[in-house]
Amino acid sequence: MTNKGHLEINYRWPGKYSFNLIDISIKRDNQYFVAELQHNGLNKLKIIRSKNSDEVKKKTDVQIIQWEEMYNKKLEKIRKNELKEEKEKQISKNIQLAEEKTRIYQQMIEDTENILKVGLSQKLIVNWNDLKKNQKFEKVSPKKPEILTIDYFSDRIGTFEEVPIPPGPDKNSNKYSYRNSLSTLFSKNKKTEKIQSLEKLYEEDYNKWINDRDSIILKNKNNLEEFKAKKSKLELELKDLNQKNLEKYSKELEKWEKEKESFKKAQNKSNDLIDELKEKYLQKDSEGMCFYCTQILIQSQYPDFIEKSFDLEYNSENGTLIVDYSLPFIDDIPQLSEVKYIKTQDTFSEKNLSKSELNRLYDYCIYNLILRSLYELYSTDQNDLLQSIVFNGWVNSIDRSTGKKKNACIASIQTTKPEFLEYNLENVDSKDCFKSLKGVCSSKLHSLTPIPPILNIDRSDKRFIDSYNVSENIDDSTNIAAMNWEEFEYLIGELFEKEFAVNGGEVKVTQASRDGGVDAIAFDPDPIRGGKIVIQAKRYTNTVGVSAVRDLFGTVHNEGAIKGILVTTADYGPDAYSFAKDKPITLLNGNNLLHLIEKHGGRAKIDLIEAKKLING
């Protein structure tokens, strides 16, 4: 430390917060040492004066330690305040979250209570043109390749550059011309020698030039021939490449045109079917009416827990529509009514509807759904084709006493159109209205007490015929790929009859058509998989294309089925698998078929080569 001037003193002191926050300057003021300390974090200033420099330093250290403690306390207070604020913010967020969840649950309950009210405000209509497919074929056509020129091989062919021939020696140039000199001026012999020497030099240079010229000419010739040969070879290669590109393009174009044509055919087929169904509807045909009513019911917007799964049957003679509707189970409807945030425990508490509230909500949900469905069907019947509707409400559930699955009809009602439309549904109590319409059900729908339906859907189909056993007459020597096509379809029907019989299902074989139509219809009562399933059999020896899968998908839609199964003795192309992967379609190839036969105690083989020979004679 000096006696004059301003001194910067850097101390190391404990603490991590004050570093670089304390400014210290010590100077000599006459006989005193003066230390000026400033703490920027505490906004404090301290001046220490003493005649003894050690005392100034000691007091400075003490002050720094005091400030350090003060500053740490300040930071701790700030930290606690921040934690408190953060906790209060989180509490506020949790309260808001609980309120939002409560609002959502209350809205779900309200939506369930207002199923009928919402349905009365919906405007449902079947626009036949909207059902048609008008999508464009989106796949871009292949681009025609450009004809490649020799420039395509510029990096391989190189260039031909002729090596120039340098000019020959000029005999008249100074190099070869004699000039008199002092040494030859008075000596004839020396002059002669000089002339001869120049002539010899010229002759040597000329001969060398001739050799160089001939060498260059030969080299140019060889290079040119080599260049031409390489060019000719590359031109042949180029021709072959252009040909291959065109052939590849032609194949891709042909494939694209076929896909486009197939797309258009499928689209036209689907649209023709819509026209056909419309005509059938106008003619009061059962298929057309069921399709029309299906479109109405699937348009209706319900809460997510209602799946809109149903079967329809229409009797054109008496104008009666039978609806078998899969109603929601009581466990499916909203049960949470409120969420609270418990501040003292930092947890959320959920409150369920009471048992009585839940039972009441479920009962009215069912009554509302039934009345709404009847209203939607009658109100959209513009051509007065519906004289009467029988609505049967079915519930798939678990019998609590046995633990087994059951499918029970818990509500059934028959109404006539004039009678039903007399009711003002905006003002009715749905339960009282159902009773007034002579609906049949248990006094408590939530008890799921089974009742006999007023009228059942007739699951017989005029296409169905009695099947006969085929599997008894085949063994591992039977090539099912060469089997009579009608027997093959019976075999498929028999196999799936055994497959579905495990769960109480039934399978009906349709009239043999050999046209790729419906070969069998399965009715699966399983509450999860349950419904109508279309089964088609293809006794093919070649790969099954995507068109067959498209046809099946259309049939599934037209039949109102939940799924389609396509069975073949061969296999499917990649397009077929790609088309089916996101649709309710199962593709079973020859290997799958053999496995199914073995599963049900049979034996057979598939030999496509042998089958082709037998079928083609």
- Which range is most confident: 36-45, 518-527, 561-570? 561-570
Give the residue with greater pLDDT, 364 vs 77.
Answer: 364
Positive or negative CA dihedral for 482, 487, 489, 494?
Answer: negative
Distance CA 478, CA 465 (A): 25
Report the pLDDT value the prediction gives residue 519, as an integer from 0 to 100: 74
Is 27's pLDDT higher than 80? no
Q: Which pair of structure tokens corresponds to residue 121?
A: 């405000």
Q: 408-464 pLDDT, tens per residue?
A: 899 999 898 999 999 999 999 999 999 999 898 888 898 888 888 877 776 554 444
User: pLDDT class for 150, splitting at 50, 70, 90?
Assistant: confident
Give the residue with greater pLDDT, 17 vs 445.
Answer: 445
Task: Average the pLDDT over 108-120 and give the result.
Answer: 92
Q: What are phi and psi of 223, to 5 degrees?
A: -65, -40
Return the SS3 of 351: strand
Give the residue with greater pLDDT, 460 vs 542.
Answer: 542
User: pLDDT class for 298, splitting at 50, 70, 90?
Assistant: very high
Is 6's pLDDT higher than 70? no
Measured at the CA of 211, the angle between CA 206 and CA 212, to 5 degrees, comes to 95
Question: CA 212, 215, 220, 221: dihedral to nearest 10 degrees?
Answer: 150
Cα–Cα nearest to 410, from 375, 363, 467: 363
User: pLDDT class for 168, splitting at 50, 70, 90?
Assistant: confident
- Please enumerate, as own/partner, the contacts of 153-156 that have beta carbons within 8 Å and a separation of 24 or more: 153/234, 153/237, 153/238, 156/230, 156/234
Q: 359-413 pLDDT, tens per residue?
A: 999 999 999 999 999 999 999 998 889 988 999 999 988 777 777 788 889 999 9
User: pLDDT class for 498, splitting at 50, 70, 90?
Assistant: confident
Q: Which pair of structure tokens corresponds to residue 354?
A: 């009471």
Give the residue with greater pLDDT, 178 vs 219.
Answer: 219
Report the pLDDT value the prediction gives residue 569, as an integer from 0 to 100: 87
Distance CA 162, CA 139 (A): 53
User: pLDDT class for 467, splitting at 50, 70, 90?
Assistant: very low
Is 30's pLDDT higher than 50? yes
pLDDT cut 90: percent of the chain above it: 28
Nearest-10 crossing angle of helices 188-282, 286-299 = 110
How far from chain centre, in Å, is Cα 317? Answer: 46
Range scoring the smallest mean pLDDT among 138-147, 206-215, 520-529, 566-575: 520-529
Q: 208-246 pLDDT, tens per residue?
A: 999 999 999 999 899 888 888 888 888 898 889 999 999
Report the pLDDT value the prediction gives residue 515, as an integer from 0 to 100: 44
Q: Which pair of structure tokens corresponds to residue 372?
A: 């709404």
Report the pLDDT value the prediction gives residue 112, as an integer from 0 to 100: 92
Q: What is the DSSP string of 262-276?
A: HHHHHHHHHHHHHHH
Is 5's pLDDT higher than 50? no
Report the pLDDT value the prediction gives residue 185, as an integer from 0 to 100: 61
Return the SS3 of 19: coil
Task: Average the pLDDT over 35-41 and give the result.
Answer: 82
Cα radius of gyration (the chain): 49
Is 602's pLDDT higher than 80? yes
pLDDT, the chain, mean: 83
Report the pLDDT value the prediction gives residue 517, as an integer from 0 to 100: 47
How are the residues of the chain apportioned to helix, strand and coil, as percentages rounded to the nearest 5?
A: 50, 20, 35
Nearest-10 crossing angle of helices 546-559, 188-282 = 20
- Give the single-character DSSP code of 479: B
Amino acid, single-letter form, for residue 613: K
Is 16's pLDDT higher than 60? no
Give the residue with greater pLDDT, 34 vs 284.
Answer: 284
Cα–Cα nearest to 426, from 359, 379, 356: 379
Is 1's pLDDT higher than 80? no
Measured at the CA of 286, the angle between CA 283 and CA 290, to 5 degrees, comes to 110
Distance CA 330, CA 441 (A): 16
Beta-carbon contacts of 241 under 8 Å, excluding residues fewer than 6 positions away, are: 148, 152
Q: 341-359 pLDDT, tens per residue?
A: 888 888 888 889 999 999 9
Return the SS3 of 536: strand
Report the pLDDT value the prediction gives residue 183, as an integer from 0 to 100: 59
User: pLDDT class for 184, splitting at 50, 70, 90?
Assistant: low
Measured at the CA of 297, the angle between CA 293 and CA 298, to 5 degrees, comes to 115
